[in-house]
Structure 1
Protein backbone atom coordinates (compact mmCIF):
# COMPACT_ATOMS: atom_id res chain seq x y z
CA UNK A 1 0.00 0.00 0.00
CA UNK A 2 1.54 3.37 -0.99
CA UNK A 3 2.51 5.84 1.70
CA UNK A 4 -0.02 8.54 2.47
CA UNK A 5 0.99 11.96 1.09
CA UNK A 6 2.25 14.45 3.64
CA UNK A 7 -0.60 16.74 4.70
CA UNK A 8 0.00 20.20 6.14
CA UNK A 9 -2.84 22.02 7.79
CA UNK A 10 -3.89 19.96 10.81
CA UNK A 11 -5.10 22.20 13.63
CA UNK A 12 -5.96 20.91 17.10
CA UNK A 13 -8.36 23.33 18.77
CA UNK A 14 -8.61 23.31 22.57
CA UNK A 15 -11.55 25.52 23.50
CA UNK A 16 -15.16 25.72 24.63
CA UNK A 17 -18.28 24.88 22.67
CA UNK A 18 -20.75 27.61 21.66
CA UNK A 19 -24.25 26.22 21.12
CA UNK A 20 -25.10 29.26 18.99
CA UNK A 21 -22.33 28.39 16.54
CA UNK A 22 -20.86 31.88 16.32
CA UNK A 23 -17.80 31.50 18.53
CA UNK A 24 -15.77 28.81 20.27
CA UNK A 25 -15.18 25.39 18.78
CA UNK A 26 -17.91 25.83 16.18
CA UNK A 27 -16.41 29.04 14.78
CA UNK A 28 -12.94 27.51 14.95
CA UNK A 29 -13.92 24.47 12.87
CA UNK A 30 -15.59 26.64 10.24
CA UNK A 31 -12.60 28.98 9.93
CA UNK A 32 -10.03 26.18 9.71
CA UNK A 33 -12.09 24.33 7.10
CA UNK A 34 -12.77 27.39 4.96
CA UNK A 35 -9.04 28.22 4.87
CA UNK A 36 -8.06 24.74 3.74
CA UNK A 37 -7.05 23.16 7.03
CA UNK A 38 -8.20 20.08 8.95
CA UNK A 39 -9.81 20.81 12.32
CA UNK A 40 -9.70 18.46 15.30
CA UNK A 41 -10.91 19.41 18.78
CA UNK A 42 -10.56 19.00 22.51
CA UNK A 43 -13.56 20.66 24.16
CA UNK A 44 -12.93 22.31 27.53
CA UNK A 45 -16.49 23.35 28.39
CA UNK A 46 -20.05 23.29 27.10
CA UNK A 47 -21.70 26.70 27.02
CA UNK A 48 -25.39 27.48 26.68
CA UNK A 49 -25.12 30.43 24.33
CA UNK A 50 -26.82 32.42 21.60
CA UNK A 51 -26.49 35.93 20.18
CA UNK A 52 -28.00 37.37 23.38
CA UNK A 53 -25.29 36.03 25.65
CA UNK A 54 -23.92 33.10 27.63
CA UNK A 55 -26.63 31.51 29.75
CA UNK A 56 -24.63 28.68 31.28
CA UNK A 57 -21.10 27.25 31.40
CA UNK A 58 -20.41 23.60 32.17
CA UNK A 59 -16.69 22.73 32.40
CA UNK A 60 -15.61 19.25 31.36
CA UNK A 61 -13.43 17.06 33.60
CA UNK A 62 -9.69 17.63 33.31
CA UNK A 63 -8.96 14.04 32.36
CA UNK A 64 -11.56 14.19 29.58
CA UNK A 65 -10.06 17.39 28.17
CA UNK A 66 -6.61 15.84 28.11
CA UNK A 67 -7.85 12.53 26.73
CA UNK A 68 -9.40 14.29 23.73
CA UNK A 69 -6.17 16.13 22.96
CA UNK A 70 -3.97 13.06 23.44
CA UNK A 71 -6.20 10.96 21.18
CA UNK A 72 -5.81 13.52 18.39
CA UNK A 73 -2.08 14.09 18.83
CA UNK A 74 -1.25 10.38 19.12
CA UNK A 75 -3.07 9.47 15.91
CA UNK A 76 -3.87 12.38 13.57
CA UNK A 77 -1.19 14.75 14.80
CA UNK A 78 -1.19 18.54 14.57
CA UNK A 79 0.70 21.17 12.60
CA UNK A 80 -0.60 23.90 14.91
CA UNK A 81 -2.58 24.06 18.14
CA UNK A 82 -5.07 26.82 18.92
CA UNK A 83 -6.30 27.44 22.45
CA UNK A 84 -9.37 29.42 23.37
CA UNK A 85 -11.64 29.32 26.41
CA UNK A 86 -9.84 27.50 29.24
CA UNK A 87 -11.84 28.74 32.22
CA UNK A 88 -9.78 27.81 35.27
CA UNK A 89 -6.24 27.54 36.59
CA UNK A 90 -6.50 23.74 36.57
CA UNK A 91 -7.41 23.66 32.88
CA UNK A 92 -4.62 26.11 32.05
CA UNK A 93 -2.12 23.87 33.82
CA UNK A 94 -3.35 20.77 32.00
CA UNK A 95 -3.33 22.47 28.60
CA UNK A 96 0.19 23.83 29.17
CA UNK A 97 1.34 20.24 29.71
CA UNK A 98 -0.36 19.20 26.47
CA UNK A 99 1.44 21.97 24.58
CA UNK A 100 4.74 20.77 26.00
CA UNK A 101 4.13 17.33 24.55
CA UNK A 102 3.89 18.64 20.97
CA UNK A 103 6.26 20.45 18.63
CA UNK A 104 3.34 22.23 16.94
CA UNK A 105 3.28 26.03 17.29
CA UNK A 106 0.55 27.29 19.61
CA UNK A 107 -1.77 30.18 18.84
CA UNK A 108 -3.07 31.31 22.23
CA UNK A 109 -6.28 33.35 22.32
CA UNK A 110 -6.51 34.46 25.99
CA UNK A 111 -10.31 34.33 26.15
CA UNK A 112 -11.56 36.12 29.26
CA UNK A 113 -14.96 37.67 28.57
CA UNK A 114 -17.74 36.80 26.12
CA UNK A 115 -19.09 39.40 23.69
CA UNK A 116 -22.07 39.98 25.97
CA UNK A 117 -19.86 40.61 29.01
CA UNK A 118 -19.96 37.23 30.74
CA UNK A 119 -16.69 36.06 32.32
CA UNK A 120 -15.14 33.00 30.69
CA UNK A 121 -11.95 32.89 32.79
CA UNK A 122 -11.75 32.71 36.57
CA UNK A 123 -10.07 35.76 38.08
CA UNK A 124 -7.37 33.65 39.70
CA UNK A 125 -6.61 31.98 36.37
CA UNK A 126 -5.24 35.17 34.80
CA UNK A 127 -1.94 34.62 36.60
CA UNK A 128 -1.80 31.08 35.28
CA UNK A 129 -2.34 32.32 31.72
CA UNK A 130 0.52 34.80 32.20
CA UNK A 131 2.87 32.23 33.70
CA UNK A 132 2.02 29.17 31.61
CA UNK A 133 0.30 30.08 28.33
CA UNK A 134 2.07 33.25 27.22
CA UNK A 135 5.58 31.70 27.28
CA UNK A 136 4.27 28.82 25.17
CA UNK A 137 2.61 31.04 22.55
CA UNK A 138 4.06 31.17 19.06
CA UNK A 139 1.36 33.81 18.60
CA UNK A 140 -0.73 35.49 21.31
CA UNK A 141 -3.95 37.24 20.15
CA UNK A 142 -5.34 39.49 22.91
CA UNK A 143 -7.90 42.24 22.45
CA UNK A 144 -7.44 45.51 24.35
CA UNK A 145 -9.27 44.49 27.57
CA UNK A 146 -7.43 41.17 27.68
CA UNK A 147 -4.10 42.91 27.13
CA UNK A 148 -4.87 45.34 29.94
CA UNK A 149 -5.66 42.43 32.29
CA UNK A 150 -2.44 40.64 31.34
CA UNK A 151 -0.12 43.65 31.47
CA UNK A 152 -1.68 46.22 33.80
CA UNK A 153 -1.19 48.80 31.06
CA UNK A 154 -3.84 51.07 29.56
CA UNK A 155 -4.60 50.05 25.96
CA UNK A 156 -6.68 52.88 24.53
CA UNK A 157 -4.81 53.75 21.33
CA UNK A 158 -2.15 52.53 18.93
CA UNK A 159 0.69 53.46 21.26
CA UNK A 160 -1.00 51.47 24.02
CA UNK A 161 -1.26 48.48 21.71
CA UNK A 162 2.43 48.73 20.93
CA UNK A 163 3.42 49.02 24.59
CA UNK A 164 1.26 46.06 25.56
CA UNK A 165 2.60 43.99 22.69
CA UNK A 166 6.18 44.65 23.75
CA UNK A 167 5.31 43.83 27.35
CA UNK A 168 3.78 40.51 26.33
CA UNK A 169 6.85 39.67 24.25
CA UNK A 170 8.79 40.25 27.44
CA UNK A 171 6.63 37.64 29.17
CA UNK A 172 7.75 35.07 26.63
CA UNK A 173 5.35 35.17 23.68
CA UNK A 174 7.21 34.80 20.38
CA UNK A 175 4.75 37.13 18.62
CA UNK A 176 1.70 39.13 19.66
CA UNK A 177 -1.25 40.20 17.51
CA UNK A 178 -2.67 43.16 19.43
CA UNK A 179 -6.26 43.51 18.24
CA UNK A 180 -7.81 46.97 18.03
CA UNK A 181 -11.50 46.30 17.66
CA UNK A 182 -12.28 47.63 21.16
CA UNK A 183 -10.44 50.90 20.53
CA UNK A 184 -12.76 53.68 19.26
CA UNK A 185 -12.25 55.13 15.82
CA UNK A 186 -13.38 54.89 12.21
CA UNK A 187 -10.42 52.62 11.43
CA UNK A 188 -9.63 49.32 13.12
CA UNK A 189 -5.90 48.71 13.53
CA UNK A 190 -4.37 45.42 14.64
CA UNK A 191 -0.64 45.35 15.35
CA UNK A 192 1.50 42.26 14.88
CA UNK A 193 4.44 42.73 17.24
CA UNK A 194 7.51 40.51 16.92
CA UNK A 195 11.09 40.77 18.17
CA UNK A 196 12.10 41.98 14.69
CA UNK A 197 9.48 44.72 14.38
CA UNK A 198 5.79 45.35 13.79
CA UNK A 199 3.22 44.99 11.02
CA UNK A 200 0.02 47.05 10.93
CA UNK A 201 -3.22 45.59 9.59
CA UNK A 202 -5.93 48.20 9.22
CA UNK A 203 -9.23 48.81 7.54
CA UNK A 204 -12.45 50.79 7.93
CA UNK A 205 -14.63 49.87 10.88
CA UNK A 206 -17.84 48.11 9.84
CA UNK A 207 -20.90 49.54 11.60
CA UNK A 208 -22.49 46.27 12.68
CA UNK A 209 -23.69 44.35 15.71
CA UNK A 210 -22.57 41.10 14.07
CA UNK A 211 -19.12 40.59 15.55
CA UNK A 212 -19.69 37.55 17.76
CA UNK A 213 -16.76 35.16 17.51
CA UNK A 214 -14.31 37.47 15.77
CA UNK A 215 -11.52 36.67 18.23
CA UNK A 216 -11.99 32.92 18.04
CA UNK A 217 -12.21 33.05 14.27
CA UNK A 218 -9.10 35.20 13.83
CA UNK A 219 -6.96 33.03 16.11
CA UNK A 220 -8.05 29.83 14.37
CA UNK A 221 -7.47 31.39 10.98
CA UNK A 222 -3.95 32.36 12.06
CA UNK A 223 -3.35 28.83 13.32
CA UNK A 224 -4.48 27.44 9.96
CA UNK A 225 -1.96 29.57 8.10
CA UNK A 226 0.85 28.41 10.37
CA UNK A 227 -0.33 24.81 10.03
CA UNK A 228 -0.15 25.13 6.24
CA UNK A 229 3.44 26.30 6.54
CA UNK A 230 2.94 30.00 5.84
CA UNK A 231 5.36 32.48 7.41
CA UNK A 232 3.87 34.25 10.43
CA UNK A 233 3.21 37.57 8.66
CA UNK A 234 1.52 35.83 5.73
CA UNK A 235 -0.58 33.63 8.01
CA UNK A 236 -1.79 36.65 9.98
CA UNK A 237 -2.52 38.67 6.83
CA UNK A 238 -4.57 35.83 5.32
CA UNK A 239 -6.48 35.41 8.57
CA UNK A 240 -7.11 39.14 8.93
CA UNK A 241 -8.51 39.43 5.39
CA UNK A 242 -10.72 36.38 5.92
CA UNK A 243 -12.23 37.76 9.13
CA UNK A 244 -12.73 41.25 7.73
CA UNK A 245 -14.77 39.87 4.84
CA UNK A 246 -16.68 37.52 7.18
CA UNK A 247 -17.74 40.55 9.22
CA UNK A 248 -18.83 42.46 6.12
CA UNK A 249 -20.91 39.49 4.93
CA UNK A 250 -22.44 38.62 8.34
CA UNK A 251 -25.91 37.12 7.84
CA UNK A 252 -27.63 39.10 10.60
CA UNK A 253 -28.86 36.12 12.60
CA UNK A 254 -30.36 36.51 16.08
CA UNK A 255 -31.39 39.53 18.09
CA UNK A 256 -28.04 40.29 19.75
CA UNK A 257 -24.40 40.07 18.71
CA UNK A 258 -24.76 38.01 15.55
CA UNK A 259 -22.25 35.58 14.02
CA UNK A 260 -19.94 36.15 11.09
CA UNK A 261 -20.28 34.56 7.67
CA UNK A 262 -17.57 31.96 8.07
CA UNK A 263 -18.52 30.25 4.82
CA UNK A 264 -18.14 33.23 2.49
CA UNK A 265 -15.21 31.77 0.49
CA UNK A 266 -17.38 28.81 -0.50
CA UNK A 267 -20.12 31.05 -1.88
CA UNK A 268 -17.60 33.35 -3.55
CA UNK A 269 -16.02 30.42 -5.37
CA UNK A 270 -19.39 29.35 -6.71
Structure 2
Protein backbone atom coordinates (compact mmCIF):
# COMPACT_ATOMS: atom_id res chain seq x y z
CA UNK A 1 0.00 0.00 0.00
CA UNK A 2 1.15 3.53 -0.77
CA UNK A 3 1.95 5.41 2.43
CA UNK A 4 -0.59 8.25 2.16
CA UNK A 5 -3.41 6.46 0.41
CA UNK A 6 -6.55 5.09 2.08
CA UNK A 7 -8.45 1.99 1.08
CA UNK A 8 -11.86 0.43 1.66
CA UNK A 9 -12.64 -3.27 1.67
CA UNK A 10 -15.76 -5.27 0.69
CA UNK A 11 -17.69 -6.04 3.87
CA UNK A 12 -20.10 -8.92 4.46
CA UNK A 13 -22.35 -9.35 7.50
CA UNK A 14 -23.43 -12.84 8.54
CA UNK A 15 -26.63 -12.97 10.60
CA UNK A 16 -26.68 -16.59 11.69
CA UNK A 17 -26.28 -19.25 14.37
CA UNK A 18 -23.23 -20.67 16.10
CA UNK A 19 -21.20 -23.84 15.59
CA UNK A 20 -18.61 -24.51 18.24
CA UNK A 21 -17.09 -27.29 16.13
CA UNK A 22 -16.20 -24.68 13.50
CA UNK A 23 -17.79 -26.21 10.42
CA UNK A 24 -21.08 -24.36 9.98
CA UNK A 25 -22.92 -21.22 11.12
CA UNK A 26 -21.07 -17.98 11.67
CA UNK A 27 -17.77 -19.85 11.90
CA UNK A 28 -18.14 -21.23 8.38
CA UNK A 29 -19.41 -17.85 7.17
CA UNK A 30 -16.40 -16.02 8.59
CA UNK A 31 -13.95 -18.53 7.10
CA UNK A 32 -15.62 -18.35 3.68
CA UNK A 33 -15.88 -14.58 3.55
CA UNK A 34 -12.26 -14.22 4.65
CA UNK A 35 -10.98 -16.84 2.21
CA UNK A 36 -12.65 -14.93 -0.63
CA UNK A 37 -10.93 -11.66 0.24
CA UNK A 38 -13.76 -9.86 2.02
CA UNK A 39 -14.11 -8.54 5.57
CA UNK A 40 -16.47 -10.64 7.73
CA UNK A 41 -18.79 -9.43 10.51
CA UNK A 42 -21.27 -11.41 12.60
CA UNK A 43 -24.60 -11.07 14.37
CA UNK A 44 -25.43 -14.15 16.44
CA UNK A 45 -29.08 -15.28 16.27
CA UNK A 46 -28.91 -18.57 18.18
CA UNK A 47 -26.51 -20.78 20.11
CA UNK A 48 -26.82 -24.34 18.85
CA UNK A 49 -24.75 -26.87 20.73
CA UNK A 50 -23.45 -29.09 17.95
CA UNK A 51 -20.50 -30.95 16.52
CA UNK A 52 -19.82 -32.98 13.39
CA UNK A 53 -22.31 -35.59 14.59
CA UNK A 54 -25.32 -33.31 14.88
CA UNK A 55 -27.19 -30.64 16.82
CA UNK A 56 -27.77 -31.44 20.49
CA UNK A 57 -29.68 -28.38 21.62
CA UNK A 58 -30.43 -24.83 20.52
CA UNK A 59 -30.25 -22.03 23.08
CA UNK A 60 -32.21 -18.84 22.42
CA UNK A 61 -30.57 -15.43 21.94
CA UNK A 62 -32.91 -12.67 23.20
CA UNK A 63 -34.22 -10.44 20.42
CA UNK A 64 -32.97 -7.39 22.33
CA UNK A 65 -29.44 -8.80 22.11
CA UNK A 66 -29.79 -9.36 18.36
CA UNK A 67 -31.06 -5.77 18.04
CA UNK A 68 -28.04 -4.47 19.98
CA UNK A 69 -25.66 -6.43 17.75
CA UNK A 70 -27.27 -5.06 14.59
CA UNK A 71 -27.13 -1.51 15.94
CA UNK A 72 -23.45 -1.87 16.82
CA UNK A 73 -22.53 -3.09 13.33
CA UNK A 74 -24.65 -0.67 11.30
CA UNK A 75 -23.55 2.36 13.32
CA UNK A 76 -19.93 1.58 12.53
CA UNK A 77 -19.44 -0.61 9.43
CA UNK A 78 -22.21 -0.58 6.83
CA UNK A 79 -22.23 -4.01 5.12
CA UNK A 80 -21.78 -4.22 1.36
CA UNK A 81 -23.76 -7.49 1.45
CA UNK A 82 -25.62 -9.56 4.04
CA UNK A 83 -26.02 -13.30 4.48
CA UNK A 84 -28.85 -14.57 6.70
CA UNK A 85 -28.76 -18.09 8.10
CA UNK A 86 -30.56 -19.55 11.10
CA UNK A 87 -33.61 -17.50 12.14
CA UNK A 88 -35.50 -19.93 14.34
CA UNK A 89 -38.46 -18.01 15.80
CA UNK A 90 -41.05 -15.48 14.67
CA UNK A 91 -39.76 -12.71 16.91
CA UNK A 92 -36.36 -12.84 15.24
CA UNK A 93 -37.94 -12.91 11.78
CA UNK A 94 -39.94 -9.78 12.59
CA UNK A 95 -36.96 -7.98 14.12
CA UNK A 96 -34.55 -8.78 11.26
CA UNK A 97 -37.08 -8.05 8.50
CA UNK A 98 -38.02 -4.72 10.05
CA UNK A 99 -34.35 -3.82 10.53
CA UNK A 100 -33.39 -4.61 6.94
CA UNK A 101 -36.37 -2.97 5.23
CA UNK A 102 -34.30 0.11 4.40
CA UNK A 103 -31.00 -1.71 3.85
CA UNK A 104 -29.34 -0.76 0.57
CA UNK A 105 -27.47 -3.81 -0.63
CA UNK A 106 -27.81 -7.47 -1.64
CA UNK A 107 -29.15 -10.04 0.85
CA UNK A 108 -28.60 -13.79 0.53
CA UNK A 109 -30.92 -15.87 2.73
CA UNK A 110 -30.04 -19.51 3.37
CA UNK A 111 -33.29 -20.81 4.91
CA UNK A 112 -31.94 -23.22 7.53
CA UNK A 113 -35.08 -25.28 8.16
CA UNK A 114 -34.16 -28.97 8.04
CA UNK A 115 -31.29 -30.86 9.66
CA UNK A 116 -29.06 -33.29 7.76
CA UNK A 117 -31.06 -36.13 9.31
CA UNK A 118 -34.28 -34.69 7.84
CA UNK A 119 -35.78 -33.15 11.01
CA UNK A 120 -37.31 -29.67 10.98
CA UNK A 121 -35.24 -27.19 12.99
CA UNK A 122 -37.96 -24.50 13.14
CA UNK A 123 -41.74 -24.54 13.51
CA UNK A 124 -44.19 -24.16 10.64
CA UNK A 125 -45.33 -20.69 11.78
CA UNK A 126 -41.73 -19.47 11.71
CA UNK A 127 -41.27 -20.91 8.22
CA UNK A 128 -44.36 -19.01 7.08
CA UNK A 129 -43.03 -15.81 8.65
CA UNK A 130 -39.75 -16.26 6.75
CA UNK A 131 -41.70 -16.70 3.51
CA UNK A 132 -43.85 -13.62 3.99
CA UNK A 133 -41.33 -11.26 5.61
CA UNK A 134 -37.75 -12.27 4.70
CA UNK A 135 -38.12 -13.85 1.28
CA UNK A 136 -39.30 -10.62 -0.41
CA UNK A 137 -36.33 -8.73 1.05
CA UNK A 138 -33.75 -11.26 -0.12
CA UNK A 139 -31.88 -10.83 -3.37
CA UNK A 140 -31.49 -14.61 -3.38
CA UNK A 141 -32.70 -17.56 -1.30
CA UNK A 142 -30.67 -20.78 -1.37
CA UNK A 143 -32.75 -23.79 -0.21
CA UNK A 144 -31.50 -27.35 -0.56
CA UNK A 145 -33.85 -30.10 -1.75
CA UNK A 146 -35.20 -30.87 1.74
CA UNK A 147 -35.89 -27.20 2.43
CA UNK A 148 -37.45 -26.74 -1.00
CA UNK A 149 -39.71 -29.71 -0.29
CA UNK A 150 -40.89 -28.00 2.91
CA UNK A 151 -41.47 -24.70 1.14
CA UNK A 152 -43.60 -26.14 -1.67
CA UNK A 153 -45.10 -28.96 0.43
CA UNK A 154 -44.04 -31.64 -2.05
CA UNK A 155 -41.06 -34.03 -2.19
CA UNK A 156 -38.40 -32.66 -4.54
CA UNK A 157 -35.95 -35.24 -5.85
CA UNK A 158 -35.68 -34.67 -9.61
CA UNK A 159 -34.58 -31.82 -11.86
CA UNK A 160 -38.10 -31.58 -13.27
CA UNK A 161 -39.55 -31.09 -9.80
CA UNK A 162 -36.81 -28.57 -9.00
CA UNK A 163 -37.92 -26.56 -12.04
CA UNK A 164 -41.54 -26.61 -10.94
CA UNK A 165 -40.63 -25.64 -7.36
CA UNK A 166 -38.38 -22.79 -8.46
CA UNK A 167 -41.11 -21.25 -10.58
CA UNK A 168 -43.57 -21.62 -7.69
CA UNK A 169 -41.22 -19.77 -5.34
CA UNK A 170 -40.76 -16.97 -7.86
CA UNK A 171 -44.53 -16.71 -8.20
CA UNK A 172 -44.76 -16.48 -4.40
CA UNK A 173 -42.68 -13.31 -4.44
CA UNK A 174 -39.01 -14.34 -4.28
CA UNK A 175 -36.64 -12.15 -6.31
CA UNK A 176 -34.44 -15.13 -7.19
CA UNK A 177 -33.96 -18.69 -5.98
CA UNK A 178 -31.01 -21.09 -6.14
CA UNK A 179 -32.23 -24.65 -5.56
CA UNK A 180 -29.19 -26.69 -4.61
CA UNK A 181 -28.98 -30.19 -6.05
CA UNK A 182 -26.41 -31.65 -3.69
CA UNK A 183 -28.83 -34.33 -2.51
CA UNK A 184 -29.76 -35.59 -5.97
CA UNK A 185 -29.28 -39.35 -6.44
CA UNK A 186 -26.92 -39.06 -9.40
CA UNK A 187 -23.22 -38.71 -10.08
CA UNK A 188 -23.81 -35.42 -11.90
CA UNK A 189 -25.34 -32.81 -9.61
CA UNK A 190 -27.46 -29.95 -10.93
CA UNK A 191 -28.32 -26.71 -9.14
CA UNK A 192 -30.82 -24.33 -10.71
CA UNK A 193 -30.91 -20.54 -10.48
CA UNK A 194 -34.31 -18.92 -11.01
CA UNK A 195 -34.69 -15.17 -11.56
CA UNK A 196 -37.74 -13.07 -12.30
CA UNK A 197 -38.46 -12.80 -16.04
CA UNK A 198 -35.40 -14.88 -16.99
CA UNK A 199 -34.98 -18.53 -17.95
CA UNK A 200 -33.43 -20.76 -15.27
CA UNK A 201 -29.68 -21.32 -15.35
CA UNK A 202 -28.17 -24.78 -14.75
CA UNK A 203 -24.95 -25.33 -12.84
CA UNK A 204 -23.54 -28.85 -13.03
CA UNK A 205 -20.79 -30.60 -11.11
CA UNK A 206 -19.64 -34.12 -10.35
CA UNK A 207 -20.62 -35.64 -7.01
CA UNK A 208 -17.67 -36.00 -4.63
CA UNK A 209 -17.44 -39.14 -2.52
CA UNK A 210 -16.97 -37.46 0.86
CA UNK A 211 -18.79 -37.21 4.17
CA UNK A 212 -17.02 -33.92 4.92
CA UNK A 213 -19.79 -31.61 3.78
CA UNK A 214 -20.79 -30.09 7.14
CA UNK A 215 -21.60 -26.41 6.64
CA UNK A 216 -21.63 -26.51 2.85
CA UNK A 217 -24.94 -24.61 2.67
CA UNK A 218 -23.76 -21.91 5.07
CA UNK A 219 -20.52 -21.60 3.15
CA UNK A 220 -22.20 -21.39 -0.27
CA UNK A 221 -24.55 -18.58 0.73
CA UNK A 222 -21.64 -16.67 2.28
CA UNK A 223 -19.56 -17.21 -0.85
CA UNK A 224 -22.35 -15.77 -3.01
CA UNK A 225 -22.73 -12.80 -0.65
CA UNK A 226 -18.98 -12.21 -0.86
CA UNK A 227 -19.16 -11.96 -4.64
CA UNK A 228 -22.20 -9.68 -4.54
CA UNK A 229 -20.36 -7.43 -2.07
CA UNK A 230 -17.77 -6.89 -4.81
CA UNK A 231 -20.42 -5.93 -7.37
CA UNK A 232 -20.39 -9.24 -9.27
CA UNK A 233 -23.61 -10.03 -11.18
CA UNK A 234 -25.83 -12.65 -9.53
CA UNK A 235 -25.44 -15.48 -12.06
CA UNK A 236 -21.67 -15.04 -12.11
CA UNK A 237 -21.58 -14.80 -8.29
CA UNK A 238 -23.41 -18.13 -8.03
CA UNK A 239 -21.06 -19.75 -10.54
CA UNK A 240 -17.95 -18.59 -8.67
CA UNK A 241 -19.40 -19.61 -5.30
CA UNK A 242 -20.37 -23.10 -6.48
CA UNK A 243 -16.88 -23.64 -7.89
CA UNK A 244 -15.36 -22.49 -4.60
CA UNK A 245 -17.52 -24.91 -2.59
CA UNK A 246 -16.76 -27.79 -4.97
CA UNK A 247 -13.02 -27.20 -4.51
CA UNK A 248 -13.47 -26.87 -0.73
CA UNK A 249 -15.19 -30.27 -0.59
CA UNK A 250 -12.50 -31.83 -2.78
CA UNK A 251 -9.89 -30.29 -0.48
CA UNK A 252 -11.41 -31.87 2.62
CA UNK A 253 -12.45 -35.34 1.40
CA UNK A 254 -9.31 -37.02 2.79
CA UNK A 255 -9.31 -35.18 6.12
CA UNK A 256 -10.46 -36.64 9.43
CA UNK A 257 -11.88 -33.87 11.61
CA UNK A 258 -14.40 -35.17 14.12
CA UNK A 259 -16.30 -38.45 14.26
CA UNK A 260 -19.16 -37.46 11.96
CA UNK A 261 -19.57 -35.23 8.92
CA UNK A 262 -16.46 -33.08 8.88
CA UNK A 263 -16.06 -29.50 7.63
CA UNK A 264 -14.96 -28.16 4.26
CA UNK A 265 -11.44 -26.98 3.54
CA UNK A 266 -12.38 -23.29 3.34
CA UNK A 267 -8.81 -22.14 2.85
CA UNK A 268 -7.86 -24.30 -0.12
CA UNK A 269 -6.86 -21.20 -2.13
CA UNK A 270 -7.30 -18.16 0.14
CA UNK A 271 -7.26 -14.64 -1.25
CA UNK A 272 -5.70 -11.59 0.32
CA UNK A 273 -8.06 -8.95 1.66
CA UNK A 274 -9.41 -7.03 -1.33
CA UNK A 275 -8.69 -3.29 -1.19
CA UNK A 276 -10.20 -0.46 -3.20
CA UNK A 277 -8.39 2.85 -3.28
CA UNK A 278 -10.44 5.74 -1.93
CA UNK A 279 -10.58 8.99 -3.89
| TM-score, with structure 1 as normaliser | 0.94
- Asked whether the 8 Å contact 1:213–1:260 carries over to 2, the reply is yes
SS of equivalent residue, structure 2 residue 183: coil
Which is worse superposed, 220-229 or 168-177? Answer: 168-177
- Asked whether the 8 Å contact 1:11–1:79 carries over to 2, the reply is yes
Greater RCO structure (CA 8 Å; 6+ sep): 2
Q: 1:20: Cα distance to partner?
A: 0.7
Q: 1:117: Cα distance to partner?
A: 4.4
Structure 1, unmatched stretches of 5+, are none
1:250-269 pair list within 5 angstroms: 250=252, 251-266=255-270
Q: 1:229: Cα distance to partner?
A: 0.7
Greater fraction helix? 1
Paired residues, number: 265
Match of 2:204?
202
1:183 aligns with 2:184: yes
Match of 1:214?
216
CA–CA separation in structure 2 for the residues paired with 1:18 and 1:119? 18
Match of 2:52?
51
1:8-47 pair list within 5 angstroms: 9-47=10-48
Q: 1:67: Cα distance to partner?
A: 1.4
Root mean square deviation, CA, Å: 1.6
SS of equivalent residue, structure 2 residue 108: strand
CA–CA separation in structure 1 for the residues paired with 2:6 and 2:72? 20
Match of 1:165?
166
SS of equivalent residue, structure 2 residue 78: coil
Structure 2, unmatched stretches of 5+, are 272-279
SS of equivalent residue, structure 1 residue 197: coil
Which is worse superposed, 62-71 or 240-249? Answer: 62-71
SS of equivalent residue, structure 2 residue 55: strand
Match of 1:145?
146
Q: Deviations over 1:12-32 (max 9, x none)?
A: 110001011100000000000
CA–CA separation in structure 2 for the residues paired with 1:190 and 1:210? 19
Q: 1:266: Cα distance to partner?
A: 3.3
Q: 1:90: Cα distance to partner?
A: 1.1
SS of equivalent residue, structure 2 residue 7: coil
Q: Deviations over 1:170-196 (max 9, x none)?
A: 122211111011221111111111121
CA–CA separation in structure 1 for the residues paired with 2:97 and 2:243? 30
CA–CA separation in structure 2 for the residues paired with 1:4 and 1:98? 30
1:235 aligns with 2:237: yes
